[in-house]
Amino acid sequence: MALLQPITARTFYIPGSNNLGFVATADGGAIAIDTGLDKDAGRLIRKALDEAKLPLRAIVNTHHHADHIGGNDFLVRNIPGVPVYAPPLEAALIAHPLLEPIYLSMGAQPIPALQNKWLMAKGVPVDHLIEGAQLTIAGTTLDVIALPGHSLGQIGLAFDGVCFAADGFFGPAILQKHGIPYAQDVGAQLASLGRLAARNDLYFLPGHGDLTPRDQLEELLAVNQSAIEHASATVRAALAEPGDLLAVARRVRAALGLQLAAIPQYAIFVSAVSAHLGYLAQQGQAQLVLEEDGMIWQAAG
């Protein structure tokens, strides 16, 4: 079976734990939408495009997370001249991947355990910033959909009836596994679900989860919304007693029964709890106060 699975006439994907999306360009080439976790993913993309006789015209990254940009370095080094496109805020982190473990370390130089390939891909220069509602590459125009929330400047892309939704929503198994769908800005994440719901593409491809036909989208978006709201409610309940961020995270982890087996996973989890605390503060349901013990979160409202 061919590596590239067709979706519509000019869109393809390679299914996997990180789905890889492709658009056939007007000039007989292809655009890769995200590049997977590592050089093996980059190699797979090159092999799939060679097999389909579609030369790679560009890489478009939806956001900076390592499992979406990890193949960039291999592709850029092995296919000379391939340009990389990304939204402005994401571009900085794609070019300088150390920034991700730095932000997970509250701004400090990260310990080696946080500098692994799941948190820190190899950086590549970003050649073009994606601004505006459309992006034209090799004579082919894609719709750009703002999907911030999971990551600060995340975008989705749509072409020929397919919306490549990145981590704008997740499949049910992923939601189950993570407990809290990773968020940088919970309010923006919820608004992005609404932006996806308003679209009429034939298919929606999440970064992690099954290719979803339009008639199954609403239900899946509702499951995502419930997961986000459940996470917020759990964080709110953890404020029954005041506590600092790490104390709140401990209570939330226990309440959700999450297995977080390694420091990187725990750091990501704490970051997501922090996003929910910020969201609750915006809603007037939580506040951060400075006490003798330090910065303490407490319930409000």
Binding site for Zn ion (CB under 5 A): 65, 167
Nearer to Zn ion, 65 or 178 (CB): 65
Nearer to Zn ion, 29 or 153 (CB): 153
Shortest gap between Cβ of 65 and Zn ion (angstroms)? 3
Nearer to Zn ion, 66 or 84 (CB): 66
Residue, CB closest to Zn ion: 65
Shortest gap between Cβ of 166 and Zn ion (angstroms)? 7
Kindly report the length of the chain. 301
Supply 266's token pair: 């725990």
Shortest gap between Cβ of 247 and Zn ion (angstroms)? 27
Shortest gap between Cβ of 55 and Zn ion (angstroms)? 28
Cβ neighbours around 275 below 10 Å, total: 24
Answer yes or no: are the C-beta atoms of 293 and 243 closer than 8 Å: no
Shortest gap between Cβ of 257 and Zn ion (angstroms)? 23
Q: Which is nearest to 65 in space by CA: 40, 29, 89? A: 89
CA distance 299 to 285: 6
CA distance 232 to 64: 24
Nearer to Zn ion, 56 or 166 (CB): 166
Nearer to Zn ion, 121 or 239 (CB): 121
CA distance 202 to 252: 37
Answer yes or no: are the C-beta atoms of 44 and 19 closer than 8 Å: no
Answer yes or no: are the C-beta atoms of 100 and 91 closer than 8 Å: no
CA distance 111 to 125: 25
- C-alpha of 162 from chain center: 18
Nearer to Zn ion, 90 or 201 (CB): 90
Shortest gap between Cβ of 233 and Zn ion (angstroms)? 23
